[in-house]
Structure 1
Amino acid sequence: MTGVMARVGLVLDISGSMRTLYKNGTVQEVVERILAVACQFDDNATLDIWIYDNEFSRLPSATESDFEGYVQKHVMTNQRIHKFGYNNEPPVMLDVIRKYTVEESSPLPVFIVFINDGGVVKPIKKVITEAAVQPIFWQFVGIGHADFEVLRKLDEMEGRVVDNANFIYIEDIARVSDEALYGMLLNEFPVWLKEAAKQRIIRP
């Protein structure tokens, strides 16, 4: 990953089953540790953040100077954000695509970390398949306790120009070292970078 520059985004599940993970500080820790990835190769050392249940919101970007208490400030006490409903992934994913390919088009690739605690809707497959021609790599991260059936089969999905998504499961992020976490997060992204460049989805 040396010399790689990309835009980095984080999508956070805030459906009802995530309530405990927000209240016990787990989601704040996720923000902090993913921000560390962003600061390594994001073009402006910021982390773009979305949150979703059956609705979604774009949140202020996080930086090294303002990440402390981010979840409490921008999520838990923000009355404008819909919280703890049911999950519906495609709308927020389409907004991510819109931001990076329409509103803020750039030759840089995009690395999206998508936090979920299971139970994604099946239409997510259609969005991922159609997004394979876009310069976006989706790294799904399962936390909590669920079977993640749909996400575990991402690598088996056919009909894509390139494999543009990966899934890892982390039962307890607090117990995972930085080295192990970042190794898992960035395992397939370099492979996608090479394949996407071959297909002219991104600049080599």
Structure 2
Amino acid sequence: MSPRKKIVQAAFEKKKLNGVVARVGLVLDISGSMRNLYLNGTVQEVVERILAVASKFDDNQTLDVWIYDNEFSRLPSVKENGIENYVAKQILNNETLHKFGRNNEPLVMEDVIRKYTKEEPSTQPAFIVFINDGGVVKPTKKVIVESSTLPIFWQFVGIGNSDFELLRKLDEMEGRFVDNANFFHLDDISAISDENLYDHLLHEFPEWLQAVKSKGLVL
């Protein structure tokens, strides 16, 4: 077992998540301010770190990936044997993808919902890691509220020093069936250890899982 997988295993044991099966998606901001993080390898490292979580949660050991700016693209899902140079091959070298525009979160969120509830409905929950460096547009709140009756958990990760006002107030967001989202902020995602990253990522998911099970949203 690789060192990173051992760290993920320890995080799952700490959070009492061993045996939990979930589909894992990663949504990556590719607005203009993210350009350097794509070019310097930071985003590739993020994909690799989240893949380690997917490999533990997902029975197919597969990570689903989206990018978005003011448009969105659903990328090929990735497994360990396809992770090398994934960002370069699937994103940077793909001239058909829209990238480095402005951010508009609801469009990609609606596609995530479409995939997991319409195209591939399942009794398994979906754990979505959402990387964003500029705060989200206000209509994002409506999508979070409306999706609170679905077996989808949104884990937002703010990176950099922008204003994440809406995301910081997630715990105060009213009108939801269950609290279906969490947020934490990192000045530099490449500087946080795997132990701390996984501890943050999995902090609120177990509580949400118990809530949706009690309400019959997942088995």
Task: Measure, in 2, the Cα distance between the counterparts of 1:43 and 1:132.
Answer: 24
Q: Could you list the per-position Cα deviations for residues 34-53 of structure 1 after superposition, in whole angstroms to 9, with x for gaps in the alignment?
A: 00110011121000000000
- Structure 1 unaligned residues grouped into runs of 5+: none
Q: Could you list the per-position Cα deviations for residues 66-99 of structure 1 after superposition, in whole angstroms to 9, with x for gaps in the alignment?
A: 1111110000010111010010000100000000
2:152 corresponding residue in structure 1: 136
Would you identify which runs of 4 or more consecutive aligned residues in structure 1 move more than 2 Å? none
Q: For residue 119 of structure 1, report the CA deviation from its aligned partner.
A: 2.8
- Out of 116, 123, 126, the residue aligned to residue 110 of structure 1 is 126
- Structure 2 unaligned residues grouped into runs of 5+: 1-16
Q: Secondary structure at the match of 2:182?
A: strand
Residue-pair matches, total: 203
1:190 aligns with 2:210: no
Q: For residue 201 of structure 1, report the CA deviation from its aligned partner.
A: 1.3
1:43 corresponding residue in structure 2: 59
Q: For residue 147 of structure 1, report the CA deviation from its aligned partner.
A: 1.9
1:180 aligns with 2:196: yes
Is the helix fraction higher in 1 or 2? 2
Identity %: 69
Q: Tell me how large the CA RMSD over aligned residues is.
A: 0.7
Task: Measure, in 2, the Cα distance between the counterparts of 1:62 and 1:145.
Answer: 30
Letter in 1 for 2:85: G
1:4 corresponding residue in structure 2: 20
Task: Please give the TM-score of this superposition, normalised by the length of structure 2.
Answer: 0.91
Letter in 2 for 1:153: K
Q: Secondary structure at the match of 1:30?
A: helix
Letter in 2 for 1:3: G
1:88 corresponding residue in structure 2: 104
What does 1:116-155 align with in structure 2 at a 5 Å threshold? Answer: 116-155=132-171
Would you say the 8 A contact 2:38–2:44 is kept in 1? yes
Task: Measure, in 2, the Cα distance between the counterparts of 1:198 and 1:138.
Answer: 19
Task: Please give the TM-score of this superposition, normalised by the length of structure 1.
Answer: 0.98
What does 1:63-78 align with in structure 2 at a 5 Å threshold? Answer: 63-78=79-94
1:60 corresponding residue in structure 2: 76
